[in-house]
Structure 1
Amino acid sequence: MKKYLFILLVMAYSLFSVASAASVEATVNTKEVVQGNPVQLRIKAIGGAAAFPNIRDINGVGVTDSGTSRQSNMQITVNGMQRETSTVRKYIFVPEHDMVIPSYTVRVGGNNYITKPIAIKVVKSNAPKLQKSEKISFSLKAQKHSVNVGESFVMTVYLSLSKNLQGLQVSDYVAPHSPDFFIKEVGGQKKYEHDGYTVVEMRYIVTPKKEGNFTIEAARAKLGQADWSRQDIFGRPGTTWQAIATNALSVEVKALHTDADLIGDFDIETNIDSQSVKANKPVNLTVKIKGKGNVEDFEFPKYEIDDVTVYSDDAKVESHVDGTTLLSSYSKSFAFIGADDFVIPARTIRVYNPDSNTTKALKIPSYSIHIEGEKAAVMPVETASQAVAPKVETNIVEKTIKVKSVNWWMLVLAFVLGMLVMYLLQFLPKVWQRKERSYKASDALKILYAHMSEDPAVEEMVRKLYARKNGDKSVQIDKKELKAMVERFR
């Protein structure tokens, strides 16, 4: 009983300890703003009393200080009870051109902290121009109307509502569609003010499936307006709904008369970590492709090398729209493991640029890999398939639960209940004790793969897991050994 009381006293001491780690962060509500619209800079200081900079202008653009807010709350963490005080200062400005918000110094609790610079991009609105008499516009525009099979382009829906209209509601939105194209929304909804209108943009990446002349059907929605002729018992107006639709789009899709893996304008970058390693140690190759166009459907050609095991991760693909231009990046990593010298063969990716009507080759060079020292025997478990084995970076994150307020009597009650529970635990039958944690093969692979080069036993376990994953049921895995390895690197 004394042992449990000692543990609970230590827990209680930690529970009531108060600490606060100071930090400062600058953020903006948007990094891409339509010309004439405001940007809000938000500087948040966590810790004690904060002294913010007096910002009169940012790169010559006048700034309006929109006030300061302060919040204090308690956090329960593994280190006990912590009090967090955060102070936020907001600044509003209207950038006229691309700019960088500089770093600012904030003094918190007697120490200086510096924010990171933030780049702001100013773009022009591509929304259709309206006559002054027009109150509502719902339209569909495309970057191109004549493309090649597989050539992606950007399509945008614009909904413009006059700022003179009050109480408008939009519902039941249906995106433009066509069975002859792959259509994917990108970037989310964008809302801004332009020429007396509130404009909402929705952008899509469109990729044709086949040759021919096709139509992309209109986007549709319902628009609700306040109807003062119909009021409820509280005098609030009713809503009159009307169906609205954009125009449809006609697109000519031409056959691609050249052999190409990608369509657009791309560059390539490769990196190999070493060309001389010990036997059965991995050689890591990373390939990055980026530029204008779509890479979502691109499949990198497989590597197949005799007596070499090749692992690869899932490709990382990112896309965003800059104005009306689709920008994409593709990144994929490979790990090669061999017992003797080998050569990673060269690869060529052909790219067709429809704007210049030219084709260029992105080349990945061959790499000669030397195995150091005496040649080791090839491990008995092999797989030649392109298995998924991503590199894992393990980050330890302190998890916190934010609590708005904690009364003293609640803490005392928690302390007393904790003592009671700890005392009763010793009398519970073992059947209620926590079962040993087991790990799935896929989870174990993600954890152990990054540590293959640190321990031959780990490398051997990874090989066995891949063999089982690829259907080799003859491979036996010691679950206790696997659990110990995973716990070791968690």
Structure 2
Amino acid sequence: MKIFKFIIALVLFFNFAYANVKLDAKSFFIKGEAYTFSIIATGKDITFPKIENINKESVDTISTQNSISIINSKVEKKIIKRFRFFPNKEFILPSFEFEIDGKKYKTKSLEVKSRKIEKSDFKFADFEISSSKSSVYVAQEFKLKVKFKYKEDLNVQDLNISNANFKDFWYKQTDNSKHYKEGGFVVNELEFLLFAQKSGKLRIEPFKITMQLLDINSSNFFMNNNYITKQIYSNDLEIDVKPLPQGINLMGDFDIETFLDKTQINQGDAVSYKIKVSGYGNIDDINDYTLDIKDAQIFENKADISTEIKDDKLYGTYEKSFSIIPKNSIKLKSLELKYFDAKTKQIVRKKTDSYEINVKKTKEKKSELITPKKENVIVKEVVKTSIKDRIVFFILGFILALLIVYLYKYAITKRLKKQKESTLLVKIKTSKTSDELIKVLAFMIKKDESLDELIFKLQKIEDNEEFKILKKDIYSLVKQIEKGKK
């Protein structure tokens, strides 16, 4: 409160300096970046115009600063407003009209042209990008180093890197970041692995770093610090990218191998077949492997691709597994991997082993229908004694006959129910392992999608509890299928 009264006293004591308005703006812009300009108005009573659109582009007010200074016994009130927008083409910054202390003031209009980004030339800082190769093949890796340095005595408050445009390149940052001091400068380095995605003359656009510096010489009356923002651009790079030979999309050094868990099986059993490709290069671009085998049911997992930086190069693996249930003996053909070796500049072909799977056929047991045996009915001759006895014996005989018929039908129904709990359901119940259950269900593959999914899950089950739960689900589903409810 005391400070506020002191300011009012100063304002009443001193005369105000002359009114003025000034535009601080560049005569060029860089496409894709914000164009900023400032307007500085000085006077006692200042009215700013509304600046909302320029050249049909929306304008934002990004900051407003108010200050009071005393020069030669005169008080100077100053308002600085900064504006920003994103132009797409060349434009004219119009004249803006202000009212200061009851008078009209105008800024000058300014023609603003588009300019290509050029490397910044400052004594206090330098920004440079460099590549390990200037000519590469499509998908051939090379290193890009980003190096930024600034004077050690600068009071840097913030650093922000932007414009890292890797258009037409796949990239991955390495762990080779560095931070050190050299020759009075603070040096920061970053490293990237790059892979060109297409052939031709490809350009890596300049990077930009925004520095925020503390301006210790411009503290105002209230002891608030001001900041200076500097934008520093690196150079650009042009990479000559040559195409790979036709039909080749891998570049580097790779190996391929396959694994088969068994070659002798019984009919209905499954085998596990795995493919693994590993090595240095652009493994993400590998063509997916599939199997087309006649007389076999094939289940496949989605391929798993992983990459990492190893020995300062991109190392990766491709893994895919299959479950195969052959109906007859089959042969798994050799698989081929093709890639281009940059060192020898030759196409390299590598093949896997082929496999023969022998299937031992099992004899099918014919199910026997259980038919009820005919029972000999013993008829006893009853000596009739009287009409009353005849009636009693007749009623008893009728009841006994009904009871025999009921028991006979009950026995037949029970046997038929047991018969309906088919041999298949019994085999499912008595299966001890997933392989044994797959063998039992092999002939039902492709009869029901839900059952196929459960059979496929059997290939990956290792825990006994999971097997019991899945077997119960399969039993219920097969029972529904047999009843015609599914």
> How does the TM-score come out when normalised to structure 2?
0.48
When Rg is computed on C-alpha atoms for both structures, the one with the higher figure is: 2
- Which of 1 and 2 has higher RCO (CA within 8 Å, sep 6+)? 1
